[in-house]
């Protein structure tokens, strides 16, 4: 079994981006990070994005509207960022609290600044295999991580567990694309799938993105499979100062010995997402120059 280190691969990408940004003339790329409310996981993710941006030489603008912001006010804030020539990328941290309509907010972001890749147009471009748009960061990070770990999906059975807009659907589309590294035979499983273990056991590459701690158990994995664990779940742990620890969607200790390659949590897909966000922001900047 070989660990696929997202930490190491992300660090390589960040170093590559840092060198690229250093060659830019004029102003630095700028990423607007919008976080509504104080969800603890979102606070930590936005902090990490801000820190990584600074490391690369990307300016970040942190906008923290209160939980009481209305849909209209939030959309007006997005419009202002869309119209601001000094902003290249806009990210609205998900999930939004309360009754805010997340999909409407994602669609409000100008497609040219949608570095999260959640806009209808960018998701559609993945289906059309048009690389001029932005692929969402976690799926793009998974593809990059597979490529840099010499895992070619061609002809392989790729089983995705989870059908979210952020991960499940776009990773299925990327794995399916007719291009180098992809060409997978893709199955998407979800909460209504009958006999899910019978399907996951067929996976040459299993991508777990359901957001349930330790959902994928030993009996659900074919020996020799490559396992990508997208889950970042907080579970109570009194031995930790924080009172919690992070675990994936895969029961790592039981599953890892069976696999040929597996990603850990933390230090797997998570850091790749942030690296790809920076890659998309740099791309948005270059396209706007």
Q: Which is nearer to ligand GUN, 166 or 262 (CB)?
A: 166
Q: How many residues bind ligand GUN (CB under 6 A)?
A: 9
From 54, 13, 65, select the one nearest 30 (Cα to Cα): 54
List the catalytic residue out of 88, 114, 116, 251: 116
- Distance separating alpha carbons of residues 168 and 165, to the nearest angstrom: 6
Residue 262 as a binder of ligand GUN (CB under 6 A): the answer is no
Q: Is 289 a catalytic site residue?
A: no
Task: For residue 200, state whether it binds ligand GUN (rule: CB under 6 A).
Answer: no
CB count in 10 Å sphere of residue 192: 7
Residues 6+ apart with CB under 8 A from 98: 37, 67
Query: What minimum distance in Å lies between the beta carbon of 136 and ligand GUN?
Result: 6
Q: Of 93, 156, 169, 249, which one is the catalytic site residue?
A: 93
CB of 138 to ligand GUN, least distance (A): 5
Please tell me the total number of residues recorded for the chain in this structure.
Answer: 289
Locus of tokens 């941006």: 53
- Any idea of the CA torsion for 80, 85, 88, 90, to the nearest 10 degrees? 0
Assess 36 for contact with ligand GUN (CB under 6 A). no
Is 128 annotated as catalytic?
A: no
Cα 192-194-199 angle, rounded to 5 deg: 110
Q: Which residue has tokens 């902090």?
A: 47
Comparison of 81 and 221: residue with beta carbon closer to ligand GUN: 81
Question: What is the H or E stretch that residue 259 is in?
Answer: none
- Interaction residues for ligand GUN, span 81-110 (CB under 6 A): 91-94
Q: Judged by CB under 6 A, does residue 273 bind ligand GUN?
A: yes
Does residue 171 touch ligand GUN according to CB under 6 A?
no
Nearer to ligand GUN, 28 or 165 (CB): 165
Residue 116 interacting with ligand GUN (CB under 6 A): yes
> Is residue 166 a contact residue for ligand GUN (CB under 6 A)?
yes
Closer to ligand GUN by CB, 170 or 181: give it.
170
**Cα(113)–Cα(284) distance, integer angstroms:** 6
Tell me which of 60, 138, 233, 282 binds ligand GUN, using CB under 6 A: 138
CA distances from 108 to 2, 43, 78, 82, 111 (A): 42, 23, 7, 9, 8
- Residue 253 CB coordination number (10 Å): 9
Q: Pick the catalytic residue from 49, 169, 261, 279.
A: 49
- Specify whether 116 is catalytic: yes
| Residue least distant from ligand GUN (Cβ) | 94
> Annotated catalytic sites, by residue?
49, 93, 116
Which residues would be at the binding site for ligand GUN (CB under 6 A)? 91-94, 116, 137-138, 166, 273
């Amino acid at each position: 079994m070989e660990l696929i280190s997202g930490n190491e691969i992300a660090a390589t990408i960040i170093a590559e981006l840092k060198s690229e940004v250093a060659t830019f003339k004029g102003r630095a790329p700028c990423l607007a990070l919008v976080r509504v409310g104080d969800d603890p996981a979102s606070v930590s993710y936005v902090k990490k994005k801000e820190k990584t941006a600074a490391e690369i030489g990307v300016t970040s603008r942190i906008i923290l509207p209160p939980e009481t912001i209305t849909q209209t006010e939030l959309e007006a804030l997005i419009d202002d960022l869309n119209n601001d020539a000094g902003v290249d990328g806009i990210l609205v941290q998900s999930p939004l609290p309360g009754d805010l309509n997340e999909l409407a907010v994602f669609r409000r972001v100008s497609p040219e600044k949608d570095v999260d890749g959640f806009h209808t147009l960018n998701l559609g471009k993945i289906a059309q295999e048009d690389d001029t748009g932005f692929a969402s960061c976690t799926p793009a990070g998974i593809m990059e991580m597979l490529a840099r770990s010499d895992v070619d999906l061609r002809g392989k059975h790729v089983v995705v567990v989870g059908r979210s807009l952020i991960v499940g659907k776009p990773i299925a589309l990327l794995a399916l694309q007719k291009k180098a590294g992809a060409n997978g035979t893709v199955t998407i499983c979800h909460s209504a799938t009958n006999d899910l273990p019978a399907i996951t056991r067929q996976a040459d590459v299993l991508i777990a993105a359901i957001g349930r701690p330790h959902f994928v158990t030993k009996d659900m994995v074919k020996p020799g499979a490559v396992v990508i664990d997208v889950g970042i779940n907080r579970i109570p742990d009194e031995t930790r100062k924080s009172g919690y620890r992070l675990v994936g969607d895969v029961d790592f200790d039981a599953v890892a010995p069976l696999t040929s390659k597996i990603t850990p949590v933390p230090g797997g897909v998570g850091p790749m997402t942030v690296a790809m966000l920076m890659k998309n922001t740099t791309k948005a900047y270059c396209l706007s120059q």
